[in-house]
């Protein structure tokens, strides 16, 4: 069966893709930039790509005409645009027009449970997309989910941040709203088994796990599963705006996503139509089981995808890899090199463990301060962390950086800043061994300022770079994992 998969490098799509390939389907991924997808060796040669932006009607002419089914896994909730609902309307309309020129028989769309009469802007937009997709010549199958629980998922990471960082929470009243969370494994099973099942054509189904819980109960169960004692006090005085700022500063989510989530949390998201179980029966994991499965994945370093992989900066939301070539002209550059005699692998292992729990090796508290400052002005901050403690691939989020190049064999790591800046910034690490066998690690910080503000910014932090960057490079070279463990 030939499948068209949109959102292939998103949280759901990245997990669905290998399942479809494993089941023998011929999958074509519709992506803006195929260089952003890092696939396992056993599937990378079994997948084809069409590079196109859903906002570009002409580019969509390149999608295959012989597709049997299509997954629509695109949304703009995290977009920097204030009119995300207009973006979602335009992209879904363009998608339908392009798909009508193919042989597609079915569209499968993952939406949100929206059974209330007064819906949030986010849920209204999802419902509007459902309506637009239903006008396609292909039959539409809509699966509506509430909170999806899985390693790397936005909801899971937000709950984790709240529980692990706040022993006592003074929380808004929406924590008493009921929802029906579902495990990511159950979602993927439904989606992969819904293909070309005629009994699902032109129908909408709610999907959820066996538990109906308030958000407060979800936090407490999460804490219990982690062996933590937590106290939650709900108050009615936190407005939606204050609640959004509360989530933004305490968790790794952006303010835009926090605002959309808070707006949606006024609506109960409970399954009303569970008929899909008659067509695609499966064992549904409880909320607690879903949390434990997620931590099993994290412990085994098997987090396949993360919501943080979505691009946060509108400056690079069309072609991330266009920034792989670091500019030279009109830039400020801080370049430092140190020779070393250690094993190349040991040093590069340290480079590949930058950020996250390991931190930035030198004067780490200043990096945290910079993260807090970024959060204060609506940036991503440091709380995004990293998907894996020791693996990096192109497209990964790394604190307030984005990984552009991660070539360990060649010894090159290139990061692009997604923090709020009056300009654009790159941080690059390069390994080199000369003809005499001398090994060198070079660290280069490049900043392309935007106007006078950018230049003033660079000069204001110049003195910090003088000792932070030099100390960081030396520490990366000399850092010893065993010594660090012994000193804890």
- Is a pLDDT exceeding 70 seen at residue 264? no
In a shared domain, residues 293 and 340: no
Better pLDDT: 487 or 484: 484
**% helix, strand, coil for the chain, step of 5:** 40, 20, 40
**pLDDT tens per residue across span 175-203:** 888 999 999 999 999 999 999 999 999 99
Give the CATH number for residue 456: 3.30.530.20
The H or E element spanning position 267 is none
Q: Which residues of 44-70 are buried (b: 16+ CB within 10 A; e: fewer)?
A: eebbebbebbbeeeebbeebbeebbbb
Q: Which domain holds residue 328?
A: 321-487
Q: Where are the alpha helices (DSSP H) in 194-254?
A: 215-225, 240-250
Give the CATH number for residue 131: 3.40.50.720
In a shared domain, residues 225 and 280: yes
In a shared domain, residues 288 and 420: no
How many domains does the structure of the chain reveal? 2
Work out the end-to-end distance of the chain between its first and last CA atoms, rounded to an integer number of angstroms.
Answer: 54
HEC sequence for 48-94 = EEEECCCCCCCHHHHCCCCCCEEEECCCCCCCCCCCHHHHHHHHHHH
- Average pLDDT (137-162) is 87
The reply to whether 313 falls in a domain is no
Chain centre distance of CA 269? 23
The reply to whether 270 falls in a domain is yes
In a shared domain, residues 263 and 362: no
Q: What pLDDT band is residue 255 in, cutting at 50, 70 and 90?
A: low
| Lowest mean pLDDT segment, chosen from 12-21, 126-135, 301-310 | 301-310
pLDDT for position 262: 67
The reply to whether 168 falls in a domain is yes
**pLDDT tens per residue across span 306-337:** 544 554 433 344 444 445 668 777 788 999 99
The reply to whether 142 falls in a domain is yes
The reply to whether 312 falls in a domain is no
């Amino acid at each position: 069966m030939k499948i068209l998969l949109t959102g292939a490098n998103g949280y759901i799509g990245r997990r669905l893709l290998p399942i479809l390939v494993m089941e023998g389907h011929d999958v074509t991924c519709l992506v803006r930039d195929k260089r952003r997808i890092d696939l396992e060796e056993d599937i990378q040669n079994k997948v084809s790509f069409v590079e196109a932006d859903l906002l570009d009607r002409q580019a969509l002419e390149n999608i295959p005409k012989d597709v049997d089914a299509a997954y629509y896994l695109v949304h703009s909730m995290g977009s920097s645009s204030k009119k995300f609902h207009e973006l979602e309307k335009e992209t879904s309309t363009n998608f339908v027009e392009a798909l009508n020129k193919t042989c597609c028989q079915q569209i499968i769309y993952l939406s949100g449970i929206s059974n209330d009469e007064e819906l949030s802007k986010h849920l209204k937009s999802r419902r509007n997309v459902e309506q637009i997709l239903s006008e396609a010549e292909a039959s539409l199958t809509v699966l509506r989910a509430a909170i999806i629980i899985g390693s790397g998922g936005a909801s899971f990471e937000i709950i984790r941040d709240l529980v692990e960082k706040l022993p006592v929470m003074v929380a808004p009243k929406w924590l008493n709203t009921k929802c029906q969370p579902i495990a990511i494994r159950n979602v993927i099973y439904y989606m992969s088994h819904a293909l070309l099942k005629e009994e699902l054509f032109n129908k909408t189904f709610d999907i959820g796990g066996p538990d109906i819980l308030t958000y407060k109960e979800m936090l407490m169960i999460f804490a219990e599963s982690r062996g933590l004692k937590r106290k939650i006090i709900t108050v009615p005085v936190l407005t939606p705006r204050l609640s959004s700022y509360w989530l933004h500063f305490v968790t790794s989510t952006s303010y835009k996503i926090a605002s959309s989530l808070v707006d949606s949390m006024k609506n109960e998201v409970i399954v009303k139509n569970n008929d899909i179980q008659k067509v695609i029966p499966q064992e549904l994991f409880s909320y607690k089981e879903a949390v434990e499965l997620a931590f099993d994945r994290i412990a085994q370093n098997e987090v396949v995808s993360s919501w943080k992989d979505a691009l946060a900066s509108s400056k690079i939301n069309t072609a991330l890899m266009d920034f792989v070539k670091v500019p030279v002209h009109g830039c400020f550059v801080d370049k430092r090199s140190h020779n070393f005699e250690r094993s190349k692998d040991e040093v590069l292992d340290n480079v590949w463990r930058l950020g996250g729990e390991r931190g930035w090796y030198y004067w780490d508290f200043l990096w945290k301060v910079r993260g807090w400052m970024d959060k204060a002005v609506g940036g991503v901050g440091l709380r995004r962390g990293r998907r894996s403690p020791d693996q990096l691939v192109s497209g990964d989020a790394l604190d307030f950086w984005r990984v552009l190049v991660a070539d360990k064999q060649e010894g090159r790591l290139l990061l692009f800043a997604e923090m709020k800046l009056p300009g654009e910034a790159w941080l690059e690490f390069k390994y080199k061994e000369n003809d005499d066998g001398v090994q060198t690690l070079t660290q280069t910080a490049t900043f392309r300022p935007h106007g006078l503000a950018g230049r003033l910014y660079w000069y204001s932090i110049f003195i910090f770079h003088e000792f932070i960057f030099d100390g960081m490079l030396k520490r990366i070279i000399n850092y010893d994992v065993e010594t660090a463990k012994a000193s804890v």
